Amino acid sequence: MIPAEAFALATGFFSAVNLILVKKGMARSNAITAIVVSLAINVIIFWSFVWMVVPREEIWRAELLIFVMVGLIQPGGTRFLSYLSVEKVGVTITAFLRATTPLFSSLLAILVLGETLTVPVAVGTMFVVSGIILVSLKDKGTVVLRNRYIFLPIFSALVAGSTQVIRKMGLVHLPFPLLGAAVTTGTSLLVVTLSLIISRKLSMLTFNHTSLWFYTLGGITVTLGVASVFMSLHLSDLVIVAPLASLSPLYSLILAAVFLRDLEVITPRLVTAACLIVLGVVLITALR
């Protein structure tokens, strides 16, 4: 059986690839279009799996209501904040600040779920958070930009961390974790679509061949990321999964240096932050 840590690490990788693809697609489109496309792909893939694998009686379980609740705000809401942040401050900064999710989810897991926070996990998480703090330091020439939009990825992390606890509670009684993912993403797509219709902002959707190609690939990668995080939460405690699932900054740093050379600046400070995050992951996985 694939260990929970492997699923958690995969979550961070797929999240990083998704942000790179979204950044590419935004050259001729916008964040709201990226969200609708990615959620639509989530729904198609997850519900196809549910239809083929999950027994029909499982689809009507009362426990699924908790995933409907989560879907009202996540992943649609958090994805919107993240994609808007990518547009405003870039992939690397978004990934690093979005990775503060473990700080919120681990604390809530201990307070609400009664999970145990061991010393290695605590120290490892602090290394991860320390790396993220390095990113929030201001660079000359970008002070105003970061102060104005810095709340976007941090608030996204807060919401994501909170909903991870709720999802973990729901997965305890759910034999098919990806059914929870299907319900969550389906609810989120419905909420986003209705909000655009009610607010009469469907015209904001901007489709073209280039952006749609990048958004489609991004939707596939984010689907793999969502599936990975649900599987990791199903197999292990949140205090273990959350820090590992937030490794997207390290992957984003590498991917941005390769694919976004003209859009992202990689500084020694960002490299130092990445090293702190790797050290934190080693503590969490090897010494917990």
Helices (H), 90-208: 91-98, 101-108, 119-136, 143-149, 151-171, 177-198
| pLDDT computed for residue 183 by the predictor | 94
Query: What CA–CA distances, in Å, run from 179 to 79, 188, 190?
Result: 20, 14, 17
pLDDT digits (tens, 9 = 90+) for 216-260: 999 999 999 989 988 888 888 776 777 777 777 778 777 877 777
Residue 111: which domain range?
4-286
Average pLDDT over every residue of 95-101: 75
Q: Structure pTM?
A: 0.79
CA distance 65 to 58: 12
Q: Give me the number of domains the chain comprises.
A: 1
pLDDT digits (tens, 9 = 90+) for 177-217: 899 999 999 999 999 999 999 988 888 898 888 899 999 99
CA distance 72 to 264: 33
Closest CA to 155 of 49, 206, 79: 79
